[in-house]
Amino acid sequence: MEHNIRTVREQEFVRITHIIRKTVQNRNIKDGIAVIFVPHTTAGVTINESSDSNVIIDILNSLNKNFPVRGDYFHLEGNSHAHIKASLIGPSVSIIIEKGRLKLGTWQEVYFCEFDGPRNRKIFIKLIEE
């Protein structure tokens, strides 16, 4: 399954848990895993705090401190920092499904991580039954 994501800022984390939940419900899978895959090289997928949005700001600031937007890079497009962040955050996560539900922790939200926006993006979701 493919789903479109429209990012609106240069760097931001977009909530996607509801999209994955809906996919699990529609397919009526009881037990298995959901693989979330980001088909881009300047974006990633992670799971983090759902409640205080300052956490996400702190994560982005901290990444930018260590992997600055403007740096001594060879790649001429000016987005090397975004490629680095994408590989550190990673292109895929696997989430467990049990009794028809995504088995996430209380404070967990799945985020699409935009590091070189705004852009039209995609996520791929594959459900595997146990």
Residues that bind a second copy (CB under 8 A): 31-33, 35, 37-41, 46-50, 52, 54-55, 57-59, 61-63, 66-67, 71-77, 80-81, 83-84, 86-96, 98, 103-108, 122, 124, 126-130
Is 93 within 8 Å of 38 (Cβ atoms)?
no
Q: How far is the CB of 104 from a second copy (least distance, A)?
A: 6
Q: How far is the CB of 106 from a second copy (least distance, A)?
A: 8
Residue given tokens 């956490």 in the structure block: 55
Q: How far is the CB of 8 from a second copy (least distance, A)?
A: 20
Residue among 97, 120, 118, 122 nearest 45 (CA): 122
| Tally of residues, the chain | 130
Residue given tokens 């949005």 in the structure block: 53
